[in-house]
Structure 1
Amino acid sequence: MNQSDKNFDYKHIWHPYSSMTNPLPCYSVLSAKGVYLKLNNGKKIIDGMSSWWSAIHGYNHPVLNKALKKQIKKMSHVMFGGITHPSAVSLCRKLIYLTPKKLDCVFFSDSGSVAIEIAIKMLIQYWQSLGQKRKLFLTIRHGYHGDTFAAMSISDPENSIHKIYKKFLPKNFFANVPISSFHSKWNENDLISFKKIIEKNSLKIAGVILEPIVQGVGGMKFYHPTYLKKIKVLCDYYCIPLIFDEIATGFGRTGKLFAFEHANVVPDILCLGKAMTGGTITFAATISSRHIANTISNGKIGCFMHGPTYMGNPLACAAANANIKILQKNKWQIQVSNIEKQLYKELSPLLKHENVIDVRILGAIGVVECVRLVNMASIQNFFVKNGVWIRPFKKLIYIVPPYIITPKELNILTNVIKEALDNPSLFI
């Protein structure tokens, strides 16, 4: 990228969570292969973020590339209304095979946020089909489910990036976040807040939605699996459908194929995205139980009222099929397990650091919670200069590397995090 392009980008292109008048620096990536991003100056840096959780097999994977090339020769896109195609049918077969037996009706969309919107719409229409006008949802604080409006309404209203939109969003129910962490002892008191809300408002609640085990943008905390089990019991008792948002955690990130497997519970609706295509192209799925799908379909309207233009996109389906083919070889289980062990060994000692509050590790997720806020521009520059790509937020420095990362490459990531913690100028 030449200086003219840089200037144009700075002046005209709005990047995520950034300002047009005082934007954060952007680094020009010319290509990517394996775990490396190649910058325009020729420097290669190790990607510790998997492009926001998605590129689980790294970049330019030959199996994924081959599938994309094969599909694009046939057709890159065709509308899904009144049309189907082999790639979509094949992918649905795989998703139904991978997920619990109860989940067997697949609805495609083009992003994670939209998959959440679809799940919410499904349950609103589900209750309408049963003659009830339920429209409120119950979740827990510190959650994050996307940046579209319905998704924002079920993300934490006080402590999230969506606080400025609070007055424009529906007022849903928010229980206290569980205190029992994944590796600690279960505390029954964690259920009190949720239980009170669902008992009092059970006839108003259309559904419960949770990020199973891992709360992402809301603080990168991992809660106890027993919490999910108890929530499922309450949902079943009050006949309230349960949605699991596995957009970030699905496809192996936590050490299980899906995070809800840590608790051995099954939702009524499952939302998938991010890693579904191995980070090659945007795609998502909302998978419901047959009961919910049939109730909606047998209702007054007779069909589910949603249909994205790029729903069932053949190119995305082909990539997702190839991604699952790679996963089914089961190398990811060993890869994620090895990453977890190394993260424990190399990040856990940072608990003694004066600038560290906590270190949290689960599967291929490593989180260092700092005492002070990061200076985003400064710390990003520091990371790039030291050969890694890590994008922290607030007080959190976290990594979610591609599963194919080598011990040596992962060690570089963790060492640079240690070096950053020793540099006061990188924090506010």
Structure 2
Amino acid sequence: MSDKTLDLDFDKEHLWHPYTSMHSPLPCYGVLSASGCTLKLEHDRELIDGMSSWWACLFGYNVSELNDAAKNQIDKMAHVMFGGLTHEPAIELGKKLIQITPKELEKVFFCDSGSVSVEVALKMALQYWHAKGSPRSQFLSLRHAYHGDTFGAMSVTDPKGAMHELYHHFLTEQLFAPQPKIAFDDPWDESDLAPIAEMLSKHHANIAAVILEPIVQGAGGMFFYHPEYLKGVRALCDQYNVLLICDEIATGFGRTGKMFACEHAQISPDILCLGKALTGGYLSLAATLCTKHIATTISQGSAGVFMHGPTFMANPLACAIANANIEKLLSAPWLEKVAHISTQLKHYLTPCLTLENVASVRVLGAIGVVQVKQSINVAEVQKHFVEQGVWIRPFGKLIYIMPAYIIDDVSLKKLCDAIFFVVQKLQNSEK
């Protein structure tokens, strides 16, 4: 029996958690340790984690290979500036990323986090056109897009009715095409591309790049759109001479059933953003990859260099862990495991469709989503899930899970059963 306790009163009074109020903060549950797919709380309570800590922990917690990578690197060098210096973990990680991403992407820029990866991508696109002598100042994004919380990333995140609406008047005004309408498994109709095609036809001369989340729109609504839409956008960008940025921060490293979601459409972007699962949830690290043409054009421009350089760029400790994480992914039968999780999610979540307050159930790869008809009281629903012994964090009208690839069938069923139970409980309380 553990008698450890956390000072949750101090936490509540002084520590500001994401997307919550300091006046009346959402409840926080103290975690003492974590292993596999289990979070160990105070008073010997345990929760099955259905969130992979916001998509990051591909193989769960306390992973021996990643622990060893951290231990082996820490005594050599925890950090060194990347300006004028380099090191083996960064070189090896660069090789791995070039190997597993679309072949046209040959240049790797390391940075701190997913949002910064998007900032880097936007700056690359802007500096590319500046170097060509024909500056362009706008980006074309999608409605219900989400690309991060920093200012450039917020500007290409849908400003209407979304989490960043408050900042709308402080941000650079961008262009937004309607959200794709055709879902991943529905029959394709070319007319779905008409709105974005019209916008590119009208504004392409001032559009530096189209930026989108390939196949899965995440925080904007967990919508899975048709691969032909992505393929069509790639063709339109080529037609109108506009760069394409794919934000794979949430979808990369096998989550959708492909190593990268853009593979569903068999396309390659000009710029690719990676983050989240890159280090298996151990340390913050991200990367922005681009084509040789973009890198060469920027480097031959008037500035002569790309104007960005984070302090913790290519942090050796993070790179060493990322290398071990990718090696574990490539050596594991991840494709089969993700396919199995997908099958189980469809089987276990389908009963939710019998509930009156469920609008839809959708699954892609190791992502399962139950959309209800009314907005969710997060604090109330979170409490119900904890009582069921699971960790699932809903938002808006969405209850979703993206478990670690190591999850067993019993634990996965417990997550899905908890969703059914809680949604049914909500339905009964509304009557």
Q: Does 1:379 align with 2:390?
A: no
Counterpart code for 1:50: S
> What pairs up with 1:238-387 in 2 under 5 angstroms?
238-387=240-389
CA deviation profile, 1:215-248 (whole Å, cap 9, x unmatched): 0000000000000111011101111110000000
Cross-structure match for 2:200:
198
TM, length-normalised to structure 2: 0.98
Q: Distance in 1 between matches of 2:422 and 2:107?
A: 47
Counterpart code for 1:124: L
Query: Does the CA contact (< 8 Å) of 2:4 and 2:43 recur in 1?
Result: no
Shift of 1:351: 1.6
Query: Does the CA contact (< 8 Å) of 1:214 and 1:222 recur in 2?
Result: yes
Q: Does 1:47 align with 2:64?
A: no
Q: Does 1:164 align with 2:172?
A: no
SS at match of 2:331: coil
Query: Does the CA contact (< 8 Å) of 1:36 and 1:47 recur in 2?
Result: yes
Q: Where does structure 2 lack aligned partners over 5 or more consecutive residues? A: none
Structure 1 window deviating more from structure 2 (136-145 vs 346-355): it is 346-355
Q: Distance in 2 between matches of 1:22 and 1:326?
A: 42
Cross-structure match for 2:99:
97
Q: Distance in 2 between matches of 1:117 and 1:226?
A: 27
SS at match of 1:305: coil
Q: Distance in 2 between matches of 1:126 and 1:224?
A: 30
Counterpart code for 2:223: K
Shift of 1:120: 0.3
Q: Distance in 1 between matches of 2:180 and 2:12?
A: 42
Counterpart code for 2:211: I
Q: Distance in 2 between matches of 1:254 and 1:424?
A: 29
> What pairs up with 1:64-213 in 2 under 5 angstroms?
64-213=66-215
SS at match of 2:214: coil
SS at match of 1:139: strand
Structure 1 window deviating more from structure 2 (153-162 vs 248-257): it is 153-162
CA deviation profile, 1:2-60 (whole Å, cap 9, x unmatched): 77821111111100001111000000001000000000221111000000000010100
SS at match of 1:397: strand
Shift of 1:426: 9.3
SS at match of 1:51: helix
SS at match of 1:417: helix
Query: Does the CA contact (< 8 Å) of 1:104 and 1:290 recur in 2?
Result: yes
SS at match of 2:43: coil
Query: Does the CA contact (< 8 Å) of 1:374 and 1:426 recur in 2?
Result: no
Q: Does 1:60 align with 2:62?
A: yes
Shift of 1:425: 7.6
Equivalent residues, number: 428
Q: Where does structure 1 lack aligned partners over 5 or more consecutive residues? A: none
| Residues 4 and 330 of structure 1: CA distance in aligned 2, closer, same or farther (over 3 Å) | closer
Shift of 1:157: 1.2
Cross-structure match for 1:30:
32
Counterpart code for 2:314: G
CA deviation profile, 1:334-372 (whole Å, cap 9, x unmatched): 111110000111112222210100001000000000011
SS at match of 1:203: helix
Q: Distance in 2 between matches of 1:85 and 1:302?
A: 24
Q: Distance in 2 between matches of 1:137 and 1:93?
A: 30
Counterpart code for 1:125: Q
Q: Distance in 2 between matches of 1:65 and 1:319?
A: 8
Shift of 1:330: 3.7
Q: Distance in 2 between matches of 1:196 and 1:29?
A: 50
Shift of 1:375: 1.1
Cross-structure match for 1:391:
393
Q: Distance in 2 between matches of 1:190 and 1:43?
A: 48
Output the aligned Cα RMSD: 1.3
CA deviation profile, 1:267-306 (whole Å, cap 9, x unmatched): 0000000000011111000000000000000000100000
Counterpart code for 1:16: P
Query: Does the CA contact (< 8 Å) of 2:6 and 2:30 recur in 1?
Result: no
Query: Does the CA contact (< 8 Å) of 1:177 and 1:190 recur in 2?
Result: no
SS at match of 1:328: helix
CA deviation profile, 1:144-196 (whole Å, cap 9, x unmatched): 00000000000111031000100011111101111100000112221111011
TM, length-normalised to structure 1: 0.98
Shift of 1:63: 0.4
Percent of aligned pairs with the same residue?
55
| Residues 67 and 305 of structure 1: CA distance in aligned 2, closer, same or farther (over 3 Å) | same
SS at match of 2:288: strand
Counterpart code for 1:311: M
Q: Which runs of 4+ in 1 moved over 4 A?
A: 1-4, 425-428
Q: Distance in 2 between matches of 1:121 and 1:2?
A: 47
Query: Does the CA contact (< 8 Å) of 1:348 and 1:359 recur in 2?
Result: yes
